[in-house]
Structure 1
Amino acid sequence: MEREKIVTVVNDFLVNEFEVDRDDIVNDANFKETLGLDSLDYIDMVVVIESNFGVKLGEADFKRVITFDDFYDTIETKISEKVA
Structure 2
Amino acid sequence: MQTRDDIFNTLRDALVELFELDPSRVSLDSNLYQDLEIDSIDAVDLIDHIKRQTGKKIAAEEFKTVRTVGDVVEAVYRLVQPTA
Task: Normalising by structure 2, report the TM-score.
Answer: 0.84
State the Cα deviation string for residues 22-67 of structure 1 (Å, max 9, x = none).
Answer: 1111211222212222222122111100011122122222222122
What is the deviation of 1:70?
Answer: 1.1
Question: Which structure has more helix as a fraction of its residues?
Answer: 1
2:22 corresponding residue in structure 1: 21
- State how 1:8-47 maps to structure 2 within 5 Å: 8-47=9-48
RMSD: 1.4
1:5 corresponding residue in structure 2: 6
Task: Normalising by structure 1, report the TM-score.
Answer: 0.84
Asked if structure 1 preserves the Cα contact closer than 8 Å seen for 2:32 and 2:38, the reply is no
Count of matched residue positions in the alignment of Structure 1 and Structure 2: 82
1:15 aligns to what SS in structure 2?
helix
Which stretches of structure 1, 4 residues or longer, exceed 6 Å deviation after superposition?
Answer: none
For residues 62 and 71 of structure 2, the distance between their equivalents in structure 1, rounded to whole angstroms, comes to: 10
